[in-house]
Amino acid sequence: MSENTERLHSQRMGTMPEGKLLLSMAVPMMLSMLVQALYNIVDSIYVARVSEDCLAALSLAFPAQNVLIGLGTGTGVGVSALVSRALGAGDSRQAHRVAGNAIFLCLCCWALMAVFGLFGAAPFIHSQTKVESIRAYGNSYLRIVTIGSLFVYFEICVERLLQATGQSRLSMWTQMIGAVTNIVLDPFFIYGWCGLPAMGTAGAAIATVIGQAVGAGVGFLFHFRRNRELLFTLADCRPRKRIVGEIYRIGFPSILMMCIGSLTNYLMNRILHVFSSTAVAVYGAYFKLQSFFFMPVFGLNNGIIPILGYNYGAGKGERIRRTLRYGVLYAFCITATGCLLFETIPGVMLGAFSASENMLAIGVPALRIIAIHFPVAAFCIVAGSACQALGKSIFAFFTSVLRQVVALIPSAYLLSLTGNVNMVWWCFPIAEVMSAAASTFFLRKTLRDVGRQIAARSGE
């Protein structure tokens, strides 16, 4: 990185007022995540018009697809934090090596998921339902998105590299272009427009993979043309044990959290399937709808992580604390808006999925009950990301385990024994209260430890 570029980057990441800096970093990513959420919702709206079984099939495929995304985002968390930390310390050569190793790890993640798609997709779907139509829809969708997952890993990787150097707008355009491509192509492949065969859920999967490929291509174009301070070479792609280990020391807890989330969704599908496949469809619709509010929070986190990483490397503890306060405030405003809409117009929101009367009867109380936990979740999400960015990823992992393994699934199962599906949804507020208590404890400990480390480095 040139002296002028380094000075500009330092001025932005290390001296700009925290609230303004966070908005400048996060708003583009929040907008791109909104588009991502929109295309996830549109995807389900399209297939729901084919049949309710199609919507249920996507719900059953979601846990495995979540693991797929989790491998990429968890790796990206580690890459983004390490690159930002290296740049904050003025070590551009280390930043290049981290970026190169990220490409190697993308190939590894793709190989793993492609093997699962070939041999594990069908058994995974079949373990959750005995309805043959749902099995067929789920098998075709999951096999295509896993075998074609190379592009989503490249897309996530290049987005994180752009974000780590403050190129948030380019990262936003990368994701938005890929998402819009998916949205535009969906009806052509799902319904068979313009002479194409109507492929249902398989068509949705094909449109998804093509959109990811376009996003990855655009992202690399932006990176190599505009991200000149982080141009890695082929030699940088050679795996280095220490770098890979550090990437996953930071990012692996995030991957584990996503895997735990996938296990939770898998078990919730099985619990709800005892009541009906419609309850499973409601659960899937809820996840699509809540993503419209939580995806922007995750985009906000993507803006928080490099700021925290840079200021941690630069030894600026007070900026870390102020950035966190702004992050929690912004996240709360977003999730509170979602809570308000879920409470006031749940029927309208479910109507987007061509909901039947039976689906509305189950879904309206479900959305109102679940939404209670949204504002509390805002704090928990930001606290977990802060722990990851500051080298305490294990704390975020413990909190996730507590929320989902200790609280959510056991309470869902016990509530299901009442025989009333409406009782099951209370597991979400119950679990979030426990998560908030743990997040508060671990965040305080992390900030104390970071403060001591910064003081020790400065000789105080």
Task: Please provide the DSSP assignment of 254-312 as one string.
Answer: HHHHHHHHHHHHHHHHHHHHTT-HHHHHHHHHHHHHHHHHHHHHHHHHHHHHHHHHHHH
Domain ranges of the chain: 17-457
Q: What type of residue sits at position 375?
A: P
| Radius of gyration, CA atoms only, the chain | 22
* pLDDT at residue number 459: 61
Two structure tokens written together for 3: 């002296």
DSSP string, 11-38: HHHHTS-HHHHHHHHHHHHHHHHHHHHH
Which residue's entry shows tokens 């310390």? 89
Coil, strand or helix: which one is 42?
helix
Identify the DSSP state of 238.
Answer: S
Q: In tens digits, what is the pLDDT along the chain, a chain of 460 residues?
A: 444 544 545 556 666 767 777 877 778 778 777 776 777 788 888 999 998 899 999 989 989 998 998 899 889 888 988 887 887 777 778 888 888 999 999 999 999 999 999 999 999 999 998 889 999 999 999 999 999 999 999 999 998 888 777 777 888 788 889 988 998 999 999 999 988 999 999 999 999 999 999 999 999 999 888 877 777 778 888 888 899 998 988 888 778 778 888 899 999 999 999 999 899 999 999 988 998 899 888 888 878 888 887 788 777 778 888 889 999 999 999 999 999 999 999 999 999 898 899 999 999 999 999 999 999 999 999 998 888 888 887 888 788 888 888 999 999 999 999 999 999 999 999 999 999 999 999 999 988 988 888 887 766 5
Two structure tokens written together for 265: 């969704």
Two structure tokens written together for 294: 């939580």
CA distance 370 to 372: 5
What is the longest distance spanned by two Cα atoms in the chain? 72
**89 Cβ neighbours under 8 A, 6+ residues apart:** 313, 314
